[in-house]
Structure formats: structure tokens, C-alpha cells
Structure 1
């Protein structure tokens, strides 16, 4: 990669990649994937792209930190405040070093009931402004949030594009907004409703402010205090759901709640509102937090009060030093901002310091003397320059683990762990490339496979019965595809329609009838194709 387009304000990374592909001159999208991520098998993801460490290292000069890519150009800040710190850090690590396949499950999005947009959306007024200000329109993060129907800036309904939010077929394709809209834009649609506008503005606030994770029990206590002021708690502190739900539905309106996937039934004792306000054991979508905050007339900034303390009181006055020993500006005071939270165990303030080199560290306060300014409590993110330096010193066999740790400012255990991550990422990339490049050979490190824990539970799956049922379903779906006339009968298409792609790909050894049926229907298609070709050839001869 010899260049990378600077991201525009609030531009989603998908849009930046689309602009890069259009200007790079690459003849296909897989070449673009290799430029960006070092592998042509990475899929295009709209909201939460992964492999960001590899992306950041691929950008010439590394001018953009991973922290900036995540917080300014993905949708992660929208979900962060309502995730436990431990879960957020696991997701963060996965997006930086791995893929995003299981991120949605960890965030509880599939079970939330709040559906993602079907297609990418844009605001005509924003398009006009972007063309005048930046020379081209682009996809905005604000417009791709679930539950947001209008532009929070111009108060008009968003226009739907023809580009799917989650591509099924062209999984490596990035599409610019300029390529699907003409010079003459459609007229602005009618203004949105008052509550729709407030939802859009509060969702935008979550996205732009980048609030830190808040203790869900603390959030629940604040909700209960506000409900008590509305008379919605009994003398023993129980919630009067029979009274709360009708008031809540009347406040927002059934139509709006239905569009958001947040309808409530007063006769149901296990709604999403029950799960949120009782002991919170389930992840709750941010849109639902916005709805309850609107009903209680409280803003997110007020909810966060008590989780922040004065900067000058605990960590002194900035700027603060970068403590990355792998860079030339080590100990130079380049960090102008610090984010302060409370330790969940000790309730002491914790400061998080982010440098432009991608190095992020934190320490527990308060600072008691001048030397505390140069103390690292925990490294949250190492950054590409630190990882590149680790690669370099790992090539020197004369250095011990302790010496490597001294050079990079960490302990030997951290050197081993980060080296494993580098090796794992290299192997994943090679494995993906080997699927399309048969000449690639992969050397796996010894003991790279973890021993699986043997379960003592009896096998509950009746594979014989499942095999018979699935074989019938395969035959039924194959006929439907064949009669549709516009799709080929393939294993992948059958698995997708049955929602059994993984089972068909990995468990056919336990499904002999299904395996034979799949072979039969796919071979039948090939014979039909051959017959069609023969008929076509015969027709051509007759015409001659």
C-alpha cells in the first residue's frame, strides 16, 4: 500500500476502504483486501471491522492509531457504555488482532431483538454538505445505527441505498456512496418526529462522546431511583411493572416501539424491560437504554456522573508522557487528555492515557509525587510500533526473554504472550491464503493446539434421527432452488437456506444419508448442465 485516504469526520471505515479501492486502481476487491489486511479472504464488514492492527501497520507511516480507527470510525463506542469492562476488553482485543465472527454473540446483539438496518443509508443534506466541504460524499456512522431513522443534524428521514448492510454474495466488496447516487439528489423527505429526532441525537451522543463502560448495577440503581420519584416502586422497592409498562408504551407510542423492535406486553412477565430493571444478567441494546432514559428524562452524561473525578486532583496537569519504550519519543510529554474512571474493586480513580503511536496504558491514582507520572499500572494496547519492535528483537537469538522485556518495558511473560499473538495472526493469515493458494505450505508451532477437555456428559444428539430429517430437508430445498430457475443448487446455498451451513460443512461424517443426498442433488445439477450444453450445441448445428 503506497497511500491511504485520510478518514473524514464521522466516516465509517467501510467508506474509507471503498474510497481506497476506487482510487487504488485495483482490478478486483480481493487485491484491495490484501493491501489493507495482508489477506484476500477477509470479508467486508460495515459496523465492526477486525484485523485493525494489521490495517494500522499497513498504512504508510502509521499516521492513524488503532484507538482512532476504533473510536472515531466504527460503531463500537455506541455499545461500549453498557458492556462490562472485561467483556469490552475481550471484544477490543478480538477486533484489533483477530476477526469479528463471534463479536456479535459476545455483545448479545442477535438476541436483543433490535434489528440492524437492512441497507446502508444516507442523508441528502449531508451529501450536499460533504461534496461542498470535502469534494465527495461518504457513508456516515450516525446514519448506520440500529434504531435511527433520521439524520440527527438535519432532522430529515434517511434515504435507503441499494447496498446491503451485510453482504451475502459479494463479501469482499466496498461500495462508495458516490457510485450509487447521481448528481441530482432526491428531495429532502419530511421532518422526523420529535421522539425520533431525540433518539437519533442521543444515539449520536453515545457514538461521538465515547463514554467508558459503566457498572450495570450502578446504572440499574440510578434507573430505580428515578422510577421511585415517579411512584413506580413499592414500599419494599419492587417495580410496579403493571403500571409502568402502560405508561411507558403511551409515552413512546406502540408504532415507534414496534419499528424499534421494543414492543411491550403488560401481560408478559419476562419482557426486555423486566430483564433490564431486574438484576441485569442479559446484555441490553443501547437503543433500549435510550428509551428508558427518555422516559425518565435523564441524559447519559448525568448517568455517568460519579464515575468521573477531576483530572487536576488525581493525575496532575497535562500533558502526560508516552511510556512506550519502543518509540523515539519515549517519556516525551505528548498526551494531552486522560480518561478517568473508578476501579470497581477499590473505588479509586483509574487514568487511561492514549498516545498517537497507539500505545495505551493506565494506572490507579491518585499520583502522590512527581515520579508517579512515569508509572505504568497496566498496558491496554501496545500499538503497531511496539509490535514491530517486538518482531525485530525476536529475530535476535542472543537476547533472553528478560532482556527483551527490559528493552520493551514489560515482563518476560508479556513478551511470550504477545509473541504468541503475532504467531497466531501469521498462521491465520497463511491458513486463509492457503485456501486459494495451494502452493502455500504452513508450518504450525509445536503444541499450538490446546487439549480439548473431555466432557463426561452423555451424548444427547440422536444423529440417526437428525440425519433422516436433514436429508429430507436437503431434498426439499434442492427442488425449490432448481424450480426457481435463477440459482444453482450448491451445498453452500442449501446450507444457507436451511441455516445449517456449519453442520453440513463439519458434521457430514455423522450424517451419511444427508451426505449421499447432497451428492445426488448436486450431481443431478451437473448432469442437467451437461444436457443443456448438449442441447445448445445441437441447436447451434441445426441453425448452421
Structure 2
């Protein structure tokens, strides 16, 4: 343990505290400082976070822990709530040890946005530090990527003249007053200055967050709760990406986002806003999360502490059975809800089906806790409910109104189901007598026409035949004549002639299918059904060589059909002089995103060819 250590100032980077220790200890060689602080001469100092914290904590004293240093004296809290819980655990192991893979897990290694190539400070903060502590130091909030303004004084940050990227990798840089420009600066007077200040303040609040309390999994669910509240979540639980992109860019335009390496390409299926709202595993830079919170008009602290996680329009379940006739009434026994959309209001409709047969529905989303026990409409009462009704009615001690109250329905419903039970009882008593007449008619017909086939009997007595087939099938089949064996054709088939006939018909049908306004995929099954030759195509195609060759030529794979359908849409757009937007082609063509990504380059080539042809036509005309 060190005899003394320069205790870190509020929000000072641990790198800065070690740099001050190196200065005050009088060490000339930085490797001596590394050995004293980290018990190793091969450690490479890191500005933003660092490594070998287990050794560092042992050396500087028991007042510190790895978690305390990481939380209060590194920029890690800027990233922590936006990382998955798995990554958080991996990073905790990284900083305790040699830090291998640390910055890659944070998303700072490759493709990092708004990367700062030096040390930054706020002149007013530096003045305050000198007055309070006698020296300036490196504030962690001033080193955050994407933040160019002081959160406390709304002033542009200044770059320290000594660039650590140009110095030795093991050298510690300490802020020196003599090398800093502490002249008074005016408040930011540029476009979007209010937004830049707001982002800086949000980033500072993010640094104060408990690093172990939140994770990307929680954040995404909170996002979805806010998106659902604002109508950006569909009934199928998907994000309305097109609407979200348009509204987002109205509030935070691309000319600002481009300045911070965050240009938003709506046509890009993997742009950062889509990844942020639907992919938990992929990392998104914290500054982009802050843009999204600005769009949602959320304060960081309120968002993390008060916004509840999305549970869907009807909560996470299980849901209660609201069948008053069941012994599990109001108990959470329903494990699944089916969500559909109301065709008028577009609101979600939840249908809850219990194992007792009771099915009810209600309109969402739920707003209050009591909504859980609300029934919009009962779809099916089920056998348990009906059995209870019959049981209570048999006691003959309750009025219709009392039965309705006990079973949770209207009096008219009770009357309806009691009448239905009476009708069923009468129907069962009369069913045998109702079968006698059609039985006698069909039986007399069979006896009068012993040579008739089943089909002939059916044509003679169609009404009676169908009635018995539906309600007394076993009796009917026992008394009908035996089925006759099919007559085998003795004529020899000329397969060559048939082959030519099929191929000519297919050519005509193919031309008809290609010219359809609404394209259909050309398949062997479709050709066979349209021409009525399914059996021969399935069983005798080996005898139809011309037909088989032509079929292979015209039948389409799913991808080929998607390309043809999208090209047809492009042609229509060009003909109508509409702008050809590939995202619109994808939507009109009904092609899923991962499939469209595979054919996008083909469609782009086709579009270029069409445009070249049109330009040539216009030039020649």
C-alpha cells in the first residue's frame, strides 16, 4: 500500500489523479509510478477508464473499491446503463485485470463516433477548481464523446495544448494552469446551441447513474413503453419505423446529426435508430441514446427512475379468469392473450381464453390496475358456465335476475341460454322421429332401383340423401349399394401429341399470367391447377419432355418472383413520373426486410438501366 496518494477530486478521472501523484511523488520515470500504483511496469495508462483496478485499489487504500473508482472516476457510467447485463459483467472483469477487450465491448474501438483526439476542459470549471483546490484537473464529463459543451456553464470546451495521442504511451499528462486558456468565453451562439447544452446536461446526469442498477434490456423496455404510449407500436408489437423516422428527423434534423457522425438514412435497414429500437444485442453509442431521449422529451433521471418497462397493451400476465361460475374466478390462470386490432379505432383488442371454456375480450391498452378485471365482451361462456346455470336453475330457488347477478351477465342472456337448453332437449327427443321419413324414402328408392349406383340414388333423392349424410351417415352408408370399381381405359395415349398440346397451352397461360396487373408467382402447381393437368404433371412428367423443359424455364423461385414484382412496381412508378424510393418499392412489394436486402443490388441495377433507357429515349426524341 502506498504511503500517500493524491485523492481524486469530484468527477476527476483516475488517470488525472495518478498524473498528479506522479508529479507530487517526484518520480522522473513514469514506469516507477506504474510499478508503485499498479504493481507492474508494463501497464499502459488509459484516459477514459483503465485496467488493473484490483491492484490499484490495493495500493491506494481501503477507502476505495473497484466499483467506486469505476463509477465515480471514469467515463464508464456514460456507457453502463446502455450495455447488456452480460457486457457489464465482462467489463467489470476486464477492468480488474489487464483490460483486454475492454474498449471493444464499450464500442469505442472501431467505428467510434465523435472521437476526441485530445484532452478538453471548460475555462470556467478550471477557474473554479483553482480557487477551490489550488489546481485544475481533468473532468470526466469534458472527455465524453459527442459532448462539446460544458454542462454547467454552457461554454464550448477548449482543447489542452498537450495532446496525449502524440506523447509516449506511458506518460501521464497533468493539467497545468500556465498552459490553459482561462479567458472569459461567451455562451454558445451557434445553431442548435440549446440542444447541445441539453445533451451535455443529460450526459452529466448519465455519469451519476448507479452502474449496476440498469442495463440495455431495461432501457429497451422503457423505450417501448414510451413508444407505445405515443402510438409507435403496432398491434403486432412492431415499431412503426417509417413514422418514427419522419417524426424524429422533424425534431432533430440530419444537418445536426451529420455534424456528430449520426446521419440517419431512412432507406438503410440497419441504421442506428432501427437498431436502437429493436435490437438489444447490438451496441448503440450513448450520444445516440441521448438524441432519442431528446426526441421523447425525457429527462435522464426521470426516464430511468420513473418510466415503467413495457409489458404490452395488457401487461405481462398471467391474466385472471372472469368466469363467475368457475372455482378459480379472478385467479391468474390464463397464460396467453391474443391481440388483434379494432378496425375502427385501431386500438388493440385482447382475447383471453381460459381452460374452463370461458373466453372474453376487452379493448386496450390497460391504463389502470382495475382494467385487469374488466370484460368488454364475452365471446364464449363455456361448459363450466352452462353447467352452473343448469345446476342453479334446477334448484328453482333463484329468479332470472338473481341468476344473472350470480353469473355476471344480463338477464336476457340467462333467458336466452335457458331457452336454448329447452330447445336442445326437445330436439333430442324429436331427432329419431325426424330421421324416420328420409330413411324410408331412401330405402324405398334403393329397393325400387337395385341396379342404381350411389350417385344415381343421390340424384333421385338429393334432399333426403344430404339430410341423412349429415345426421345419420352410418345408417346411410350401410344401406347404399357397394361402390363400383372405376372403368379402366383401354385406349393407348399418344404422349407426344399430349406433350405438344400441354406446351402450347402453357405458353398461352404464361403470357396471360405475366400480363396480370397484380403479379402471381408462376409455379408448377399453379400451371397444373389452371390447366387442370395436376395429376399428369405430378405422375407422368417423365413422358412429357417438352412440357418439363418449358416448365423449368418459366417456373419462378420465391426470390425471382420478388424481383419481378418489384421491377413491375418500379416500371409503374417511372411511368407515373413518381420518385422511385426503394423502401417504398419494398413496402408495396410486400418483401420482408432480410429478403429485400438480398435483392436490393439487383433492383438498383435494374433502376439504373431503366433510367439510362429513358434518358436515351428522351435524347433521340
Per the normalisation by structure 1, the TM-score is 0.52
The answer on whether the counterparts of 2:119 and 2:159 sit within 8 Å (CA) in structure 1 is yes
Partner in structure 2 of residue 46 of structure 1? 47
Aligned-partner Cα distance in 2 for 1:47–1:93: 17
The answer on whether the counterparts of 1:112 and 1:285 sit within 8 Å (CA) in structure 2 is no
Partner in structure 2 of residue 170 of structure 1? 168
Within 5 A, what are the aligned runs for 1:80-229? Answer: 80-96=80-96, 98-111=97-110, 113-164=112-163, 167=165, 169-178=167-176, 181-182=179-180, 185-191=182-188, 193-229=193-229
The answer on whether the counterparts of 1:123 and 1:157 sit within 8 Å (CA) in structure 2 is yes
Partner in structure 2 of residue 37 of structure 1? 38
Within 5 A, what are the aligned runs for 1:295-374? Answer: 295-305=295-305
Give the Å deviation of 1:22: 1.1
Give the Å deviation of 1:116: 2.5
Which deviates more from structure 2 when the two are superposed, residues 200-209 or residues 275-284? 275-284
Distance 1:187-1:101 versus aligned 2 partners, 3 A rule: farther
Distance 1:281-1:94 versus aligned 2 partners, 3 A rule: closer
Give the Å deviation of 1:36: 1.1
The answer on whether the counterparts of 1:82 and 1:213 sit within 8 Å (CA) in structure 2 is no
Aligned-partner Cα distance in 2 for 1:180–1:30: 26
Distance 1:162-1:233 versus aligned 2 partners, 3 A rule: same
Distance 1:111-1:275 versus aligned 2 partners, 3 A rule: farther
SS at match of 1:290: helix
Which deviates more from structure 2 when the two are superposed, residues 185-194 or residues 254-263? 185-194
Distance 1:73-1:288 versus aligned 2 partners, 3 A rule: same
The answer on whether the counterparts of 1:119 and 1:160 sit within 8 Å (CA) in structure 2 is yes
Distance 1:207-1:223 versus aligned 2 partners, 3 A rule: same
Gaps of 5+ in 1: 309-544
Give the Å deviation of 1:143: 0.3
SS at match of 1:163: coil
Aligned-partner Cα distance in 2 for 1:307–1:95: 31
Distance 1:38-1:260 versus aligned 2 partners, 3 A rule: same
Partner in structure 1 of residue 242 of structure 2? 242
Aligned-partner Cα distance in 2 for 1:208–1:217: 19
Within 5 A, what are the aligned runs for 1:262-281? Answer: 262-281=262-281
SS at match of 1:22: helix
Specify which structure has the bigger relative contact order, considering alpha-carbon pairs within 8 angstroms and separated by 6 or more residues: 1
Gaps of 5+ in 2: 309-621
Distance 1:189-1:22 versus aligned 2 partners, 3 A rule: farther
The answer on whether the counterparts of 2:217 and 2:280 sit within 8 Å (CA) in structure 1 is yes
Aligned-partner Cα distance in 2 for 1:247–1:210: 32
Which deviates more from structure 2 when the two are superposed, residues 185-194 or residues 74-83? 185-194
Aligned-partner Cα distance in 1 for 2:127–2:177: 15
In the alignment, structure 1 residue 15 sits paired with structure 2 residue 12 = no
Aligned-partner Cα distance in 1 for 2:44–2:200: 29
Give the Å deviation of 1:64: 2.8
SS at match of 2:288: helix
Distance 1:85-1:225 versus aligned 2 partners, 3 A rule: closer
The answer on whether the counterparts of 2:71 and 2:211 sit within 8 Å (CA) in structure 1 is no
Give the Å deviation of 1:89: 1.8
- More helix per residue: 2
Distance 1:278-1:32 versus aligned 2 partners, 3 A rule: same
Which deviates more from structure 2 when the two are superposed, residues 220-229 or residues 29-38? 220-229
Partner in structure 1 of residue 432 of structure 2? none
Give the Å deviation of 1:190: 3.4
Aligned-partner Cα distance in 2 for 1:180–1:267: 51
The answer on whether the counterparts of 1:85 and 1:213 sit within 8 Å (CA) in structure 2 is no
SS at match of 2:162: strand
Give the Å deviation of 1:28: 1.8
The answer on whether the counterparts of 1:113 and 1:261 sit within 8 Å (CA) in structure 2 is no
SS at match of 1:162: coil
Partner in structure 2 of residue 65 of structure 1? 65
Partner in structure 1 of residue 568 of structure 2? none
Aligned-partner Cα distance in 1 for 2:211–2:66: 17
SS at match of 2:184: coil
In the alignment, structure 1 residue 78 sits paired with structure 2 residue 78 = yes
**Deviation digits for residues 453-503 of structure 1 (CA, Å, limit 9, x no counterpart):** xxxxxxxxxxxxxxxxxxxxxxxxxxxxxxxxxxxxxxxxxxxxxxxxxxx
Give the Å deviation of 1:68: 2.2
Distance 1:27-1:40 versus aligned 2 partners, 3 A rule: same
**Deviation digits for residues 497-539 of structure 1 (CA, Å, limit 9, x no counterpart):** xxxxxxxxxxxxxxxxxxxxxxxxxxxxxxxxxxxxxxxxxxx
Aligned-partner Cα distance in 2 for 1:217–1:94: 21
Distance 1:226-1:20 versus aligned 2 partners, 3 A rule: same
Give the Å deviation of 1:215: 4.7
RMSD: 2.4
How many equivalent residue pairs? Answer: 305
The answer on whether the counterparts of 1:80 and 1:213 sit within 8 Å (CA) in structure 2 is no
Larger Rg: 2
SS at match of 2:161: strand
The answer on whether the counterparts of 1:78 and 1:210 sit within 8 Å (CA) in structure 2 is no
Aligned-partner Cα distance in 1 for 2:12–2:258: 29
**Deviation digits for residues 28-71 of structure 1 (CA, Å, limit 9, x no counterpart):** 21111111111222112101111112112222x53333332211
